[in-house]
Amino acid sequence: MDYNDNRTMNDLKSQVIRPTRQRAMIMEVLNGTTKHPTADWIYDKVRKKCPNVSLGTIYRNLNLLKEKGLIRELKYGKNTARYDGNFDPHHHIFCLKCGKLDDIQCKVHPNLTKSVEKSSGYKIEGHQLEFNGICPDCLKKVE
């Protein structure tokens, strides 16, 4: 995907933020990976096309894109924030040893939302399910 991709620019414009080259490139990086990158990782990728970009610019734009609902910030334990541009329904699994973070597709009981609404009194707008454990690579190291 090119940073001039119409979908990326339309996503930015629809949130009433100026579609700058840096913002479009951040969105391109996030939409082009299944990883959940850190700001530093995104910075390294964006710098390849825009060498003058600063890490501060990346952080400011990540915060703005998060506030506008175009990306999600994921925080796990003491690790630095990770970012996700995938809004398709999915959940996450986090390795407590190495910090690896993966998407996981699993079905959630269809009555879960109704049950939580009934027990809490909240009107549920969405949910995020997170699993914590030890990844297969770390388990191999222990054996």
Which residues of the chain does CATH 3.30.1490.190 include?
88-142
What fold is seen in the domain 6-83?
A: Arc Repressor Mutant, subunit A (1.10.10)
Q: Rounded to an integer, what distance in angstroms lies between the CA atom of residue 55 and that of residue 57?
A: 5
Which residues of the chain does CATH 1.10.10.10 include?
6-83
Phi, psi of 3 (to 5 degrees): -65, -15
Q: Rounded to an integer, what distance in angstroms lies between the CA atom of residue 135 and that of residue 110?
A: 28
pTM reported for the whole predicted model: 0.73
Was domain 88-142 assigned CATH 3.40.50.300?
no
Q: Rounded to an integer, what distance in angstroms lies between the CA atom of residue 43 and that of residue 40?
A: 5
What is the per-residue pLDDT across 54-106, written as a single tens digit (0 to 9) for each? 999 999 999 999 998 889 998 876 667 999 988 787 889 989 998 888 888 88
Q: How confident is the model at residue 10 (pLDDT cuts 50, 70, 90)?
A: low
Strands 130-133 and 91-95: parallel
